[in-house]
Amino acid sequence: MTELLAVVAITFFAVISPGPDFAMVSRNSLLLSRRSGVLTALGIGAGVCVHVTYTLLGVGLLIQQSLWLFNLIKLAGAAYLIFLGIKMLRAKPVSAEVLAEQPALSSLGALRTGFLTNVLNPKTTIFIVSLFMQVVQPQTPLAVQLGYGAFIVLAHAVWFSAVAIFFSTDSVRGRLLAVRHWIDRVFGGLLVGFGMLLALTQQTR
């Protein structure tokens, strides 16, 4: 029971802490649509599923012990966040007519954005690998560990779907869409900042 409570508590605080996932879901929900935001959230859940899978297969231990492999993942994630952030920073004011003519983000595009944002985020790697290596006991049955993994995936999908629903409500979107290019730039700056922090943070073993 103590182990279960620790997994639930640590997951809760990890999920709600601000980061690239939150920034991407908020941005897509606010500036695109509720559907895009929820699909981005589901993509994040799929990314978490990848982290859980390789951790349960033992690859997580290799990542934890291999400094060069972890740094490779870290730099790839940082590059992706900076790339997305720069695209958003270049956003310019557009009229409602031009905005309506712009192609919407496809369902696959929204899922892919959420998936890549999470799966390339080394903070998620650290969180899940550390949780299973330090909190979950080796003698815990595999079925229980799979249950923990399913809970972590579900917690991410539910939380970020709730974030998407909130930021896509008419009252919130109606007040902020008029300054959408500034919102894009703010979220772009946040993503660039997250990426720079990832790239510059020294990891030691």
User: Tens digit of pLDDT for each residue in 144-172?
Assistant: 889 999 999 999 999 999 999 988 888 77
pTM for the model stands at 0.75
Q: Does the pLDDT of residue 85 top 50, yes or no?
A: yes
Alpha helices in the chain (DSSP H): 2-16, 20-31, 34-56, 59-65, 67-89, 96-101, 107-119, 122-130, 142-167, 170-176, 180-200
Long-range contacts of 178-182 (CB under 8 A, 24+ apart): 180/30, 180/31, 180/91, 180/99, 181/91, 181/92, 181/93, 181/94
Is 70 exceeded by the pLDDT of residue 125? yes
State residue 149's pLDDT score: 92
182 vs 76 pLDDT, higher one: 76
Q: Which of the residue ranges 28-42, 137-151, 180-194 would you say has the lowest mean pLDDT?
A: 180-194
For residue 99, the model assigns a pLDDT of: 44
The radius of gyration computed from the CA coordinates of the chain, to the nearest angstrom, equals 18
Structure confidence at residue 59 (pLDDT): 67
Is residue 95 scored above 80 in pLDDT? no
Q: Which tokens hold the place of 135?
A: 């909190």
The dihedrals phi and psi of 39, each to the nearest 5 degrees, come to -65, -35
